[in-house]
Chains A and B, each alone.
Chain A
Amino acid sequence: MERAIQIKGTREGLTITLGSGDLADALGDLGRQLRLQGAFFRGGAVALQAVARSLTIEDIVAVRDLLAEYDMTLRSIVANNDATRQAATALGIQVVEVEPPRQAVRPAPVEEREPAPTGDAMRGVLVKRVVRSGQTVRHTGHVVVIGDVNVGAELFAGGDIVVWGRLRGLAHAGCYGDETAVVCALELSPQQLRIAQRVARPSEGATRSPTGPEVARIVDGAIVVEPWDQARRKG
């Protein structure tokens, strides 16, 4: 008989794979295995593989609460359908595409750069809430936030980042090496701004208060911030 779930240890932590059967059965099976080996897994970070099925917000909360009973945290969800992706994003849980680009998110040498994602991977994710401290939104395509991005929050996008609100956390656009990516926000006052391999941060002690929407992009190898009005005129 096919098991409802599989638990596998990896270098990054635990991967729990959900089968396509009834979720209640899968949760029951997971509960049994955690009772048997829970002490061993305690404190672990879990990547949930849900490729074979679609998960609602309630489903994810059920899994997360079950894991929390054993001091485990649900770090990411590997998903290949939009419903699951949106549910996970709504809960502030990192979504990993089925075949995540191999490259680390940190600035990496240019020659190892992935080809710019095309087609499917270049779609975006829309987040319609305040992204709060400790929350991360990550997508291979564009990231659009309607709401503020607070200090301590992080956005990572393979493509562009648009914040219809105040950007006060960290934003990394073109995180797989796309130097044409831009970051725009109604109020651009991030803790740190990254585009491709470039990093910029506000100068120490400077109290710069932007007066309107701004765009950050790479010009001659450096990140430059301009008011949206000027940027628009240049096209």
Chain B
Amino acid sequence: MTARIITITSGKGGVGKTTTVANLGVALARAGQRVVVIDSDIGLRNLDILLGLQNRIIYDVVDLVEGRCRPRQALIRDRVAPELYLLPAAQSRDKSAVGPADMVRICDQLRAECDFILIDSPAGIELGFRNAIAPANEFILVTTPEYAALQDVDRVLGILEAEGRDSARLLINRMRPDLARRGQSLSVAQLLDVLNIDLLGIVPESEEVIAANVRGVPVAHEVETLPGRAYANIARRLMGEDVPFIALLEGKPTFWQRIGLRSRAREQNAR
């Protein structure tokens, strides 16, 4: 087995990188994949909390880099998902404790034993970001439907493209189709129009995600919810399946809305 190494990044903070990593980790594991998620946000670790594993940390990524433990010892098995493992960040160190070459070496040690390695990148485009992208051969760029996040993703894309690393796909997080339809937030089409990259998936803004994060059990376990379904779809797309986008999220008018729009257009023409 040789794992695919995917870095989840965004430039801007607070758009949901860590939530994305936790949920895609769960969704891929539920689909039968062996997954390692790595928190590379050294000094500000969060991924352990979203997975509810914060009390089980003994070794972290810096211990592994500095040779105080073996890879297997540093991996924490998830409480719920069968084949999901967390490599936590160190909380008491900073980004300079690890370099890009260290990240490549760690991933080389791990990649023989799993199907996917997902790396949670810190915000920014400095050393922490450099560490996070060094080992990856694929990228998921996370944006929310607003200009600030969009511009930062565009910046990150420029950096990746300049290095010839252009296998990046877009995940639109915290989508509000209702606002987008009214022109009060950016639409899927507007985001793709600027970025010119493939769309991997759309995750709606939802209270279920917030509650799940607080509970420490990612929403991807609740496949009956809309965000749970969205994450399951994204996991299947990552595994190479061709899964259609959920029409509601994409913001395309439904059949009934289309009829409604047509009749309104007719009325206007009549006037």
Chain A interface residues (CB < 8 Å from chain B)? 57, 61, 68-69, 71, 90-93, 129-135, 148, 150-152, 168
CA distance A210 to B184 in the complex (A): 21
Complex interface: chain B residues within 8 A of A61 (CB): 163-164
Do A152 and B127 have beta carbons less than 8 Å apart?
no
CA distance A93 to B194 in the complex (A): 21
Complex interface: chain B residues within 8 A of A151 (CB): 147, 151, 154, 194
Complex interface: chain B residues within 8 A of A92 (CB): 158, 162
A interface footprint on B110-130 (CB within 8 Å = 1, 0 otherwise): 000000000000000001001
> Which of B99, B127, B162, B163 has the largest count of A CB atoms less than 10 A from its CB?
B162
Q: How far does the Cβ of A184 sit from chain B's closest Cβ, in whole Å?
A: 21
Closest A-chain residue to B166, C-beta based? A129
Do A133 and B147 have beta carbons less than 8 Å apart?
no
Q: How far does the Cβ of B210 sit from chain A's closest Cβ, in whole Å?
A: 29
Complex interface: chain A residues within 8 A of B164 (CB): 57, 61
Do A148 and B194 have beta carbons less than 8 Å apart?
yes
Do B194 and A150 have beta carbons less than 8 Å apart?
yes
CA distance A133 to B154 in the complex (A): 6
Complex interface: chain B residues within 8 A of A69 (CB): 99-100
CA distance A208 to B124 in the complex (A): 32
Do B130 and A68 have beta carbons less than 8 Å apart?
yes
Chain B interface residues (CB < 8 Å from chain A)? 99-100, 127, 130, 147, 151-152, 154-155, 157-159, 161-164, 194, 196
What are 27 contact pairs spanning A and B, CB under 8 A?
A61-B164, A69-B99, A69-B100, A71-B127, A90-B162, A91-B162, A92-B158, A93-B162, A129-B161, A130-B196, A132-B154, A132-B158, A132-B161, A133-B154, A133-B155, A133-B158, A134-B154, A134-B155, A134-B158, A150-B151, A150-B154, A150-B194, A151-B147, A151-B151, A152-B151, A152-B155, A168-B194
Per DSSP, are chain A's interface residues mostly helix, strand or loop, or mixed?
Answer: loop
Q: How far does the Cβ of A107 sit from chain B's closest Cβ, in whole Å?
A: 25
CA distance A130 to B158 in the complex (A): 8
Which A-B residue pairs are the 5 nearest by beta carbons?
A132-B158, A133-B154, A133-B155, A134-B155, A91-B162
CA distance A135 to B152 in the complex (A): 12
Closest A-chain residue to B11, C-beta based? A133
Complex interface: chain B residues within 8 A of A129 (CB): 161
Do A132 and B155 have beta carbons less than 8 Å apart?
yes
> Which of A134, A151, A168 has the largest count of B CB atoms less than 10 A from its CB?
A134
Closest A-chain residue to B130, C-beta based? A68
Given that A129-B161, A133-B154 are contacting pairs, would A148 and B196 also be in contact in the complex, using a CB cutoff of 8 Å?
Answer: yes
Query: Which of B99, B154, B163, B196 has a CB less than 8 Å from the CB of A152?
Result: B154
